[in-house]
């Protein structure tokens, strides 16, 4: 019953006028960012994070804004998938497979509304999942010592590199680069300045905002230059705007199944919306059997991946809130945002800062109701925004990004560093290096080093403590399995499933 009381307390936080307004703004911006091809949740959260800080929003309000943007992106991605056949974000790739054919048949309104509905169901089921499981996990994780934490972070890196697909070495390298960037600056334990080159601007380390904006805004802009999308293929929404009861009944159980799968995938570090939607799409396709018209505009193929990507987005809050170890790039950015407020997420957060945790959870419910409303009756507004040309959009993104970076320290140095990191990030991404492990490494770097040092202080330098407790042993085994198993599976799997999962 404790949980229910806390949840009610959370609603009291989320329902204050300020937080309601912030959630609505976040949901609206998120839908736009998600819809625009090239920009996904991580870019949206990265660009808005410094602004939330600059506007001096209290931490729970800032987190509500970022969470609403994140959820909004998962809703928005489907709009361009369906109308333009260009996924607005990575989680919406599968939605295009049946959504666009439906739109071509004149059922654009139905595809948009059923996918908004299944997004809503997915998010709500996953948020209920958070309410049920997060407090349990947090209580269990309270027993973690520094050695277990170190093992847990290694596990998170193993997951994110193992599941990142075809280039595990590059993903690991990205994580190492991120960790290295985090060591720049004053080492608080010993008072030694590391890797600063004597520059006073670097003495308290590289600002998190500078890294995030450089890597996810500046480099994204450079990547966007190569992928011109024209909105000329945009299909007009005509005819029936809303799905009917028959269509709802037809998709209901698939939506529920996909939501549960999406939630579980989301909780796992490393796996995210992309994997969740691909998994559930092929699952529903198999379950439908020969009676399905998947790939030609089957409504079930629109509902399932949308439910899954929203559920996994909500699910990814679980490791972030309970363990303090984010499982995805987007939640890593949120952890970084909290660290700006000197809040370290982790199991203690549930007891020490219930306002923040439960306010966030309650606001997820509220933001989803808003998003359902935004995405069904108001979808026409967004299709107009989709016509916004890049020559106006991109300079705007760059200007807002620079404002965010400048607002922290007001130095030209930070802006130059942002540009440099942006170009470096662009080059690395062109080399096929994923950036999510880099940001995860940067966020976790300090925590990881501190826990390693603390653990070894206990035993006076004896490494044995790292593999002493059953929890750490389990986590180390899990980490090894995550690195070893996916490549083996890929070797065994027939070619076509590999292509479907990509």
Partner 1 sequence: MSDRILGAACVVAGAGMAFAAIDYAAPISYEPVGPRAFPLLLAGLMALAGAWLIARPGPKGLGLAREHLKPIGLAIVAVFVYAALFETLGFPLATAVMALPVGMAFGGSWKQSLAAGVAMGLVFYVMFDKLLDVVLPTGLLSFVLGGH
> Rule CB under 8 A: which residues touch partner 1?
51, 54-56, 166-167, 169-170, 172-173, 176-177, 179-180, 183, 187, 189-192, 194-195, 218, 221-222, 224-226, 228, 389-396, 398-400, 402-403, 406-407, 410, 412, 415-416, 418-419, 422-423, 427-428, 430-432, 449, 452-453, 456-457, 460-461
Compute the least distance from the CB of residue 91 to partner 1, in Å. Answer: 21
Residue 393 CB, nearest approach to partner 1 (Å) = 8
Q: Name 489's Cβ contacts closer than 8 Å, sequence gap at least 6.
A: none
What does the alpha-carbon distance between residue 126 and residue 341 come to, in Å, rounded to a whole number? 27
- Check the CA dihedral 255-261-264-267 and report its sign: negative
- Tally of CB atoms within 10 A around 57: 18
**Min. distance of Cβ 154 from partner 1 in angstroms?**
12
Please state the closest distance from residue 96 (CB atom) to partner 1, in A: 21
Nearer to partner 1, 326 or 404 (CB): 404
Min dist CB 90 to partner 1, Å, is 16
**Concatenated DSSP letters of 422-447:** HHHHHHHHHTT--SHHHHHHHHHHHH
Q: Smallest distance, Å, CB 65 to partner 1? A: 13
* Beta bridge partners of residue 193, listed in sequence order: 186
| Residue appearing with tokens 């049946």 | 98
Residue 295 or 395: the one with the smaller Cβ distance to partner 1 is 395
Task: State which residue, 5 or 189, has the beta carbon closest to partner 1.
Answer: 189
Q: Which CB, 50 or 297, lies closer to partner 1? A: 50
Give the nearer residue to partner 1 in terms of CB position, either 173 or 261.
173
The smaller minimum CB distance to partner 1, of residues 3 and 457, is found at 457
Minimum distance of partner 1 from residue 108's CB (angstroms): 27
Decide whether 55 or 287 has the Cβ nearer to partner 1. 55
Q: Select 457 or 497, whichever has its Cβ closest to partner 1.
A: 457
Cβ-contact 332, 326 below 8 angstroms: yes
> Is the distance from CB of 450 to CB of 184 less than 8 angstroms?
no
The minimum distance between CB 190 and partner 1, in angstroms, equals: 3
To the nearest whole angstrom, how small is the minimum distance from the Cβ of residue 446 to partner 1? 10
- Encode burial over 243-264: b for 16+ CB neighbours within 10 A, e otherwise: beeebbebbeebbebbbbbbbb
Q: How far is the CB of 267 from partner 1 (least distance, A)?
A: 28
Q: Are strands 185-187 and 192-194 parallel, antiparallel or unpaired?
A: antiparallel
Is the CB of 44 or the CB of 101 nearer to partner 1? 44
Give the ranges where 268-299 is alpha helix by DSSP (H).
273-288
Strand partners, 316: none
The answer to whether 292 and 285 have CB atoms below 8 angstroms apart is: yes
Give the residue with the Cβ less far from partner 1, 180 or 293.
Answer: 180
Cα distance from N-terminal residue to C-terminal residue, the chain: 43
**What b/e sequence results for 457-468 when a residue is b if at least 16 CB atoms lie within 10 Å of its CB, and e otherwise?**
eeeeeeeebbeb
Q: How far is the CB of 418 from partner 1 (least distance, A)?
A: 7
Q: Nearer Cβ to partner 1, position 254 or 404?
A: 404
Classify 193 as helix, strand or coil: strand
Q: Buried (b) or exposed (e) across 208-219, using 16+ Cβ within 10 A?
A: bbbbbbbbbbbb
Reference 379, options 119, 178, 190; nearest CA is 119
Angle at 134 between CA 129 and CA 139, to 5 degrees: 150
Cβ atoms 68, 79 nearer than 8 A: no
């Amino acid at each position: 019953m404790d949980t229910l009381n806390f949840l009610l307390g959370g609603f009291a936080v989320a329902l204050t006028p300020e937080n309601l307004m912030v959630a609505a703004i976040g949901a609206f911006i998120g839908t736009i960012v998600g819809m625009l091809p090239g920009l996904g949740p991580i870019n949206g959260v990265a660009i808005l994070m410094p602004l939330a800080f600059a506007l001096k929003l209290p931490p729970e309000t800032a987190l509500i804004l970022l969470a609403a943007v994140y959820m909004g992106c998962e809703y928005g991605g489907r709009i361009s998938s369906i109308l333009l056949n260009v996924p607005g974000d990575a989680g919406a790739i599968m939605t295009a497979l049946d959504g666009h054919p439906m739109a071509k048949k004149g059922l654009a309104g139905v595809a948009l509304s059923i996918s908004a509905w299944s997004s809503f169901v997915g998010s709500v089921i996953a948020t209920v999942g958070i309410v049920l499981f997060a407090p349990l996990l947090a209580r269990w994780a309270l027993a973690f010592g520094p050695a277990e934490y170190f093992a847990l972070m290694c596990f998170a890196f193993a997951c994110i590199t193992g599941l990142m697909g075809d280039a595990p070495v590059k993903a690991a390298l990205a994580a190492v680069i991120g960790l290295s960037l985090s060591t720049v600056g004053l080492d608080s334990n010993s008072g030694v300045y590391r890797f600063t080159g004597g520059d006073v601007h670097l003495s308290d380390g590289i600002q998190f905002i500078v890294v995030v904006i450089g890597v996810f805004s500046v480099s994204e802009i450079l990547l966007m230059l190569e992928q011109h999308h024209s909105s000329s293929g945009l299909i007009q929404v005509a005819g029936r705007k809303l799905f009917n009861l028959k269509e709802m009944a037809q998709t209901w159980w698939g939506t529920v199944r996909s939501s549960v799968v999406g939630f579980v995938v989301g909780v796992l570090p490393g796996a995210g919306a992309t994997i969740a939607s691909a998994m559930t799409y092929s699952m529903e396709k198999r379950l439908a059997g020969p009676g399905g018209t998947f790939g030609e505009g089957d409504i079930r193929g629109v509902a399932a991946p949308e439910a899954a990507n929203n559920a996994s987005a909500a699910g990814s809050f679980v490791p972030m809130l309970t363990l303090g170890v984010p499982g995805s790039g987007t939640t890593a950015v949120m952890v970084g945002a909290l660290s700006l407020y000197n809040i370290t997420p982790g199991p203690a957060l549930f007891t020490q800062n219930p306002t923040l945790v439960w306010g966030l959870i309650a606001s997820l419910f509220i933001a989803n109701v808003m998003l359902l409303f935004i995405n069904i009756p108001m979808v026409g507004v967004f299709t107009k925004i989709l016509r916004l040309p890049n020559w106006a959009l991109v300079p705007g993104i760059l200007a807002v990004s620079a404002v965010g970076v400048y607002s922290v320290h007001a130095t030209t140095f930070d802006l130059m560093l942002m540009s440099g990191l942006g170009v470096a990030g662009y080059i690395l991404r062109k080399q096929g290096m994923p950036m999510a492990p880099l940001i995860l490494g940067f966020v976790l770097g300090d925590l990881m080093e501190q826990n390693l040092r603390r653990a070894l202080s206990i035993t006076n330098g004896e490494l044995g403590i790292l593999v002493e407790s059953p929890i750490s042993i389990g986590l180390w085994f899990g980490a090894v399995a995550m690195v070893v198993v996916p490549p083996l599976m890929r070797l065994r799997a027939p070619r076509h499933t590999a292509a479907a999962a990509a």
